[in-house]
């Protein structure tokens, strides 16, 4: 687990989520793709989000999660988006020879820690699993699809 201290005093740590992956990959922990503390709290406080987290033993499609969690599909997509924004779930693309690719969702954290630092500010650390080549390719493909 690694923690990142802000290099600039005008960016308080209590408003930022720090991910081991982001720091490892050379990403700025204060970039827009890192969730704020409240975003993570809101996702973890949502009962349907917690149900989805409990169900994800392996990557699953939104339809599979919807059926297994007994949550409407439209709600499942909203909850998956919330969990993704909180850096707790990642969308993976399953490439198929037919060209009809499928999105699967997988947990993207091993632990969430909230600590009180020496300035008495809340410090959020999200422990994420090691980056595999397959995961890197999936993330690259997801970025290409966005553009």
User: What is the model's pLDDT at position 102?
Assistant: 87
- Please tell me the distance from the alpha carbon of residue 41 to that of residue 136, in angstroms, as a whole number: 27
User: What is the model's pLDDT at position 100?
Assistant: 80
- Please tell me the distance from the alpha carbon of residue 113 to that of residue 122, in angstroms, as a whole number: 10
- Please tell me the distance from the alpha carbon of residue 68 to that of residue 101, in angstroms, as a whole number: 22
Domain membership flag for residue 112? yes
Structurally, how many domains does the chain consist of? 1
Name the residue among 85, 80, 71, 3 with its Cα closest to residue 41: 85
- Please tell me the distance from the alpha carbon of residue 16 to that of residue 51, in angstroms, as a whole number: 25
Structure tokens at 85: 């924004």
- Do residues 60 and 68 make contact, with C-beta atoms less than 8 angstroms apart? yes
We report the CATH number of the domain holding residue 86 as 1.10.10.10
- Phi and psi at residue 112, in whole multiples of 5°? -125, 125
Range of the domain at 70: 33-145
User: What is the model's pLDDT at position 8?
Assistant: 34
Q: How confident is the model at residue 35 (pLDDT cuts 50, 70, 90)?
A: confident
Domain membership flag for residue 5? no
The mean of the pLDDT values for the chain is: 77
Domain membership flag for residue 19? no
């Amino acid at each position: 687990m690694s923690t990142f201290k802000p290099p600039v005093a005008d960016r308080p740590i209590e408003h930022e989520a720090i991910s081991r992956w982001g720091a490892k990959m050379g990403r700025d922990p204060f970039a827009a793709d890192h969730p704020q503390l409240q975003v993570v709290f809101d996702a973890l406080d949502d009962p349907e989000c917690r149900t989805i987290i409990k169900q994800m033993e392996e990557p699953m499609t939104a339809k599979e999660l919807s059926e297994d969690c007994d949550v409407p599909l439209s709600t499942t997509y909203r909850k998956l988006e919330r969990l993704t924004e909180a850096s707790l779930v990642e969308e993976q693309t399953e490439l198929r020879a037919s060209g009809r690719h499928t999105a699967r969702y997988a947990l993207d954290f091993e632990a969430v820690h909230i600590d009180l630092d020496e300035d008495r500010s809340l410090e959020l650390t999200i422990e994420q699993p090691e980056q595999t080549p397959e995961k890197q390719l999936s993330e690259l493909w997801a970025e290409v699809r966005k553009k």
